[in-house]
Structure 1
């Protein structure tokens, strides 16, 4: 996946400036920077969710997003929250739920799960889609330190096992380090990438 961005604006306000970014399956990249700098906007462009920019995005890799919030279907049980979005068979969904520590929770609804369990379910859903590159937007925000640490370790382990690549947006360099991700920082107005 490669992005050759010339500019991204919201109305007359420039957000992102000229930048080039490429990520291959198996590679791990962390995009750092303060809140409001444009990290999530950049991730949405990489995911193909935002096409209103000047420049070119190319690549045919299978992508799976993990958002800041779990974004689960509240009227469906946990198993269906994996099978419906990914189209994977129930057996595959159960395997991934077991890998993230949710075996036995298949029939529970999102409201019956803790926030940490909901985050693990969204991670199972992402990996069940067999991605070549995982796109994560501050996925450990609002978790207590112990739960966040467990989630980071789980994510690193799943990336190691599957060989999937990673692009993670975060404000915490320690997260990038724990995930063995190469870091770049967004800074300036409009924001551009600086290598760390």
Structure 2
């Protein structure tokens, strides 16, 4: 993945200045910085969800994103939440659900799962897409410490076994360290990487 961003504005307000970022398979980076500096905006540009920017973006064929809140289809079962958007087979999806500790919950609907279980399901869905680069936008926010630690360990295991690269948005340098992600700080106005 390579991004050469010249500028990003919201109306007349410049948000991001020149940003160059390259992440290959197996490489991990964490975007750190204060709230409102533009970390999520930068991640959305990389993901292709925001195309209104000046610059160029080249990404692998397969990207997957884990958002701050689980973005699950409430009218679909847990298993279908993996197979439908990713094209994974039922067997592949069930195996991933087992890896994240959700074996036996394939027929459950998101509302029948705790927040921690929904986040694990979102993580399984991301890996079901077989991404070259995994994008994560503060996926461990609002989790209790024990659940956060389990999710960090699980994410590290899945990254190790898949070989996917990682771009993590976080406020916590300890999360970056736990995932062996190189910290990059976004700061300034408009923000640039330092």
Q: Secondary structure at the match of 1:152?
A: helix
Contact 1:61 1:133 in 2 (8 A): no
Please list every run of 5 or more consecutive structure 2 residues that lacks an aligned counterpart in the other structure: none
Separation of aligned partners in 1, 2:21 and 2:129: 24
Counterpart of 2:5? Answer: 5
CA deviations 1:106-149 (Å, max 9, x no partner) are 00110110000000000000001111110000000011111111
Stretches of 4+ aligned residues off by more than 6 angstroms: none
Say whether 1:67 aligns with 2:55: no
> 1:170 and 2:175 equivalent?
no
1:143-177, Cα deviation, whole Å (9 max, x unpaired): 11111111001000111111111000001000000
Which residue of structure 2 aligns with residue 142 of structure 1?
A: 142
Task: Show the counterpart of 1:82.
Answer: 82
CA contact (8 A) 2:5 2:54 kept: yes
Structure 1 unaligned residues grouped into runs of 5+: none
CA distance in 2, matches of 1:83, 1:58: 26
Return the alpha-carbon distance in structure 1 between the equivalents of residues 60 and 132 of structure 2. Answer: 10
Kept in 2, the 8 Å contact 1:28–1:167? The answer is yes
Q: For residue 41 of structure 1, what is the aligned residue in structure 2?
A: 41
TM-score normalised to the size of structure 2?
A: 0.98
| TM-score of the aligned structures, taking structure 1 as reference length | 0.97
- State whether residues 86 and 125 of structure 1, in contact with CA within 8 Å, keep that contact through their aligned partners in structure 2: yes
Describe how 1:84-99 pairs up with structure 2 within 5 A: 84-99=84-99
Give the CA deviation at 1:61. 4.0
Question: Within 2, Cα distance between the matches of 1:12 and 1:186?
Answer: 20
**SS in structure 2 opposite 1:4?**
strand
Give how far 1:58 is off. Answer: 1.4
Shift of 1:49: 1.1
